[in-house]
Amino acid sequence: MNTAFYLRRLHSLAGLVCLGAVLFEHIFTNSMALGGAKALDGALAMMELIPPLIFLALEIGAIGVPLLFHGIYGIYIALEANNNPGRFGYTRNWCFALQRWTAWFLVFFLIWHIGYLRIFEKGMNGTHISYDLLQSLFVGSPITACLYVLGMFAAIFHFCNGITTFCMTWGITKGPRSQKVVSVLSMLLCAGLCLVTLAFMSSYFLMV
């Protein structure tokens, strides 16, 4: 059994497919805040049209399990590296180190984000997630807002750089030219998604 091989490939797939989808869903739904309270609450209500049991199954099967696996096996991978962009300052080596640094930040950010909003507020307190709740959370504490922006930036970079390395790992891009093209395109996507994040996060402050 080539356990190492299958675990590594599963890690790659879980990150790109499951967590990528989760990231896009988050950016899409949250960008509704640009349209104000009504638009965001409408988008949240749309999500609630999914029957609760199926929703929970999706949350566990398509988010929870892949996230835990990607996170725990990812920590093992990150510990295998001795980041050296100081000595070898090539672009890809910086991306390699950033991939691991954003990962460490995301481990703590996601424990806080999921633990507070999903498990504590929604799960235990039964709080209804709404525009007003998020606005009071962010405007009430700009540090929280900053950490959320950083968390989003980290996740977006980690995902976009992950597209580049996914293509290498799966042998999709072989030569330097195709690898360069994918890497430029994914960094453009990274910049675009970061701008969208900045826009919807600042809208909470502009529409008080």
Partner 1 sequence: MSDNQKVRFIIERQDSPDSKPYTEEFDVDYRPGLNVVAALMEIQQNPVTVDGKKVAPVVWECNCLEKVCGACMMVINGKARQACCALIDELKQPIRLAPARTFPVVRDLMVDRSVMFESLKKIQGWVEIDGSFDSVDAPRQNPYTAQVAYEISHCMTCGCCLEACPNVGPQSDFIGPAPTVQAYLFNLHPIGKYDAPKRLEALMQKGGITSCGNSQNCVEVCPKSIKLTTYLAQLNRDVNKQALRNIFNV
> Alpha carbon 137 to chain centroid distance?
20
> Torsion angle of alpha carbons 184, 106, 25, 39, nearest 10°?
-110
| Rounded Cα–Cα distance for residues 206 and 34 (Å) | 10
3-class secondary structure, 83? coil
Contact between 140 and partner 1 by CB under 8 A: the answer reads no
Contact between 96 and partner 1 by CB under 8 A: the answer reads yes
Contact between 9 and partner 1 by CB under 8 A: the answer reads yes
Contact between 77 and partner 1 by CB under 8 A: the answer reads yes
Q: How many CA atoms lie within 13 A of 114 on its CB side?
A: 13
The minimum distance between CB 83 and partner 1, in angstroms, equals 6
Site string for partner 1, 31-70 (x = CB under 8 A): ----------------------------------------
Answer whether 11's CB lies under 8 Å from 70's CB: yes
Contact between 79 and partner 1 by CB under 8 A: the answer reads yes
Of 31 and 186, CB closest to partner 1: 186
Q: Which long-range contacts (CB under 8 A, 24 or more apart) does 55-62 make?
A: 62/18, 62/21, 62/22
Q: Within 154-173, which residues bind partner 1 (CB under 8 A)?
A: 164-165, 168-171, 173
Of the candidates 110, 155, 154, the one whose C-alpha atom is nearest the C-alpha of residue 16 is 155
Contact between 83 and partner 1 by CB under 8 A: the answer reads yes
Of the candidates 66, 62, 25, 61, the one whose C-alpha atom is nearest the C-alpha of residue 46 is 25
The minimum distance between CB 91 and partner 1, in angstroms, equals 9
Q: Within 98-127, which residues bind partner 1 (CB under 8 A)?
A: 99
Which of 49, 52, 54, 82 is close enough to bind partner 1 by CB under 8 A? 82
Residues near partner 1 (CB under 8 A): 2-6, 8-9, 77, 79-84, 87-88, 90, 92-93, 96-97, 99, 164-165, 168-171, 173-176, 179
